[in-house]
Chain A
């Protein structure tokens, strides 16, 4: 099965105060970044629920990026620090499940960093392209191919 035509599907869980604002600024500045990124706003990365990340992968996501405020500047003080630990835990779960822990990443940026948003979006897109489709997507496609 070739990788031609693999368009990654990446969910970006962005905190309201920094990451989402940065993504919005990138848009206002007309900065170009891949359309593989699907932005979902959450109040704070500290609200990240591991089940939502796993649901994204079960529904066909190839990657998930969690984007929050710079460490030390979280609007809720320590939300992004809790998120980092939760992302590490999720990496473990995904690795054990055979999906791959490297498919989830955490980024920190401030609301003024429109340019950095475009940069991390490009970086995540390239990273997931390199990894290929999620094994969960691959198996569905393989079964379809075998029929």
Chain B
């Protein structure tokens, strides 16, 4: 899932300065699950902004709405009327959601309420950890299901660096050494010989390094009239 966290209230208030009618739009998917942009968080933010603006003597009207997913046109069309009534929209979606809203409603000012941080998962309730960097050429089959691109600070492909101490990364004592995890996993599975094969330098062209990416599936496209 995409993991994001809410911007500080002060930063959000600066972004919405001057707007009289604000709409906070939440998203029911990833940001709900990481408790940063769902129904509750949108309601809390709307309330906090209303209260803060009243205390400052310049009350703002702040409504909130949530869509199932902010990254699909059909879903965001559901809030078209509410967007129309607002001067400014605060998106509590991930970066994709903010841009989708901005593109669908180009005459509206759309600002982000979240900082989108990484793709990851809740390893326990309240703790989210990075797991994938969308490199476009998944090598998890070679590393026992632990990703050295996302989880090794140096993105090494052939074992740990000299900074791996007691299973932790030298940059942070709380960060596991990905290669320690890979070694332990493959050893437990009796597949250490996978590590004997030296991996060549990664071809980063499939990653963001190759420019913004796009996938086209001709078999799924509809022709302009909507028929197959």
Contact = CB atoms under 8 A, between A and B. Distances in A.
Interface of A: 49-51, 54-55, 57-58, 93-94, 96-99, 135-136, 139
A135 B48 contact: no
Contacts of B52: 96-98
Interface stretch (B39-47, B78-86, B144-152): B39-47
A51 B40 contact: yes
B9 A96 contact: yes
Name the residue in B40, B43, B48, B49 with the highest tally of chain A Cβ atoms < 10 Å from its Cβ.
B48
A50 B56 CA distance: 22
B57 A54 contact: no
23 contacts: A49-B40, A50-B40, A50-B44, A51-B40, A51-B47, A54-B48, A57-B51, A58-B47, A58-B51, A93-B9, A93-B44, A93-B48, A94-B51, A96-B9, A97-B48, A97-B49, A97-B51, A98-B56, A136-B51, A136-B54, A136-B55, A139-B55, A139-B57
B50 interface: yes
Chain B interface size, as a band, is 10 to 19
Given A51-B44, A98-B52, A136-B54, 18 more contacts: A49-B40, A50-B44, A51-B43, A51-B47, A54-B48, A54-B51, A57-B51, A58-B47, A93-B44, A97-B52, A97-B55, A98-B55, A98-B56, A99-B51, A136-B55, A139-B54, A139-B55, A139-B57
A98 B47 CA distance: 12
A97 B43 contact: no
Interface of chain A, helix or strand or loop or mixed?
Answer: helix
Contacts of B107: none
Nearest to B40: A51
B10 interface: yes
